[in-house]
Amino acid sequence: MAVSGAGVQNILKIPELKRRILITLALLSVYRIGVHIPTPGIDGDSLAAFFAMHQDTIFGIFDMFSGGALERLSVFALGIMPYISASIILQLLKVVIPHLERLSKEGEEGRKKITQYTRYGTVLLSLIQGFGIAVGLESMSSPEGVAIVNDPGWAFRLMTMITLTAGTSFIMWLGEQITEFGIGNGISLIIFAGIIARLPAAIGNTIRMIAAGEMAIFGIILLLIFMVSVVAFIIFMEQAQRRIPVQYAKRVVGRRMYGGQSTHLPLKINTAGVIPAIFASSLIMFPATIASFYADVPIMQYVSAALHPGAFIYEALFVAFIVFFCFFYTAIVFNPSDVAENMKKHGGYIPGIRPGRRTADYIDKVLTRITLAGAMYISAVCVLPSILMTKFNVPFYFGGTALLIVVGVSIHTVQQIQSHLITRNYEGFLSAAPGKRKK
């Protein structure tokens, strides 16, 4: 599919869509401005030097998701991660708490209640993380020995807790406003904006390397070809589905006949999205971060080296954790038994498979196979860039996790724009035949 020029022009012809895009851009601009507002009581130069020394630890991961706010310890330093963590925790609790499971099946009212619980959880996690960051910063210093916190104590801790929690709450509100009044998923777009904000610096660094003779033009061309190929592969896999044919039996209700049509049950290859990569990287980086604080201890030096991106143990554990979380998260968000039961209630069946338990087992079997393929795909995308960066010194600036987020959010946002255009009977943003309207 090629990008249609007429599709781009049609965006401006729909007042509602144009308004939504402008609102989205304005709110994202507010977020990026807030990233540069520092939290009081911090020595910025010492903090920057500290982060430069701990880029390959868990601090680097959280800084990526906060769009560089953690490195500056701005009011948005916690980013949107507390909200994401609260959402994931609630999804996990649905399995063990019947009340939450009932709410998830009550439609719009249940969704609003779960959203309210997620907000409370976000504030609680932000307060805990804010306190942890404040206490941690008081004991940290730059490589030159300059303290990061100018005036440590409970006044600084309380101020930092309140400031960071307020910043995260404001980001959460921004994300909800984008989702409701803008275009795309607000939370995802905030993470997307933070990652993309690093692109100008990455391009500038590449130009500097070429000018200094550290990298040849031919190498840059090969790198661009490789990056385009990886992005194309991610787009293909993110949209890939295994479609199970479903047939609905004819039913007579009164004088009307219902059913009788053929359809399909779409199962995504990557049901878990980017969650497994985030969980896996955070889990591995946590012991590496602890080890980096005790670099003078021999065993800690070994742990730090073994869990460094590019090391064999790191990559092996990374792949193992990604596979585990792919199956774990998919099992939580998709229940084959519920799907089979709903199909049976509405007179649906898979040709050749008996309704009920046999159908659930068949769906589970298919889901297990495609989840394994999805886990291998995520592992390849996440591991390959880090190997290129560490082993071959290739400036592949976006790691696999960031690349998955950027491509996934881009696909989702373009699909929403496409839906608005099709609803208004305009040619889609992505079209194989530019200049023609869809009928």
Question: For residue range 55-83, what is the model confidence (pLDDT) as tens digits?
Answer: 655 566 666 667 777 777 888 888 888 88
Q: Cβ-count burial of 135 within 10 angstroms (0-12 exposed, 13-18 middle, 19+ buried)? A: middle
Domain limits of the chain?
1-198, 240-397
Least confident of 135-144, 229-238, 311-320, 430-439: 430-439
| Pick from 398, 90, 55, 413: nearest CA to 227 | 398
Q: Do domains 1-198 and 240-397 have the same CATH topology?
A: yes
At residue 438, the pLDDT reads 44
| Pick from 75, 14, 133, 121: nearest CA to 419 | 14
Percent of residues in the chain assigned helix, strand, coil, to nearest 5:
65, 10, 25
74 strand-pairing partners: 38
Cβ-based neighbours of 48, under 8 Å, separated by 6 or more: 71, 72
By the 8 A CB rule, do 125 and 172 touch? no
Q: Which whole number is the average pLDDT over 6-12?
A: 64
| Pick from 247, 241, 237: nearest CA to 266 | 241
At residue 1, the pLDDT reads 43
pLDDT score of 2 more than 50: no
DSSP state, residue 63: H
At residue 362, the pLDDT reads 92
Question: For residue range 289-330, what is the model confidence (pLDDT) as tens digits?
Answer: 666 666 567 777 777 777 776 678 888 888 999 999 899 888
At residue 55, the pLDDT reads 61
For the full predicted model, state whether its pTM sits above 0.85: no
Phi (first) and psi of residue 278, to 5 degrees: -65, -50
SS3 142: coil
At residue 3, the pLDDT reads 45
pLDDT score of 90 more than 60: yes
Strands (E), 38-121: none
Q: 166 falls in which pLDDT band (50, 70, 90)?
A: very high
Architecture of domain 1-198: Orthogonal Bundle (1.10)
Distance from C-alpha of 371 to C-alpha of 379, rounded to nearest angstrom: 12
Q: How far is CA 100 from CA 50, 85, 94, 107, 111, in A?
A: 42, 17, 5, 12, 10
pLDDT score of 117 more than 80: yes
CA angle 280, 332, 95 (to 5 degrees): 120
Domain 240-397 = CATH 3.40.50.180: no
Distance from C-alpha of 143 to C-alpha of 268, rounded to nearest angstrom: 47
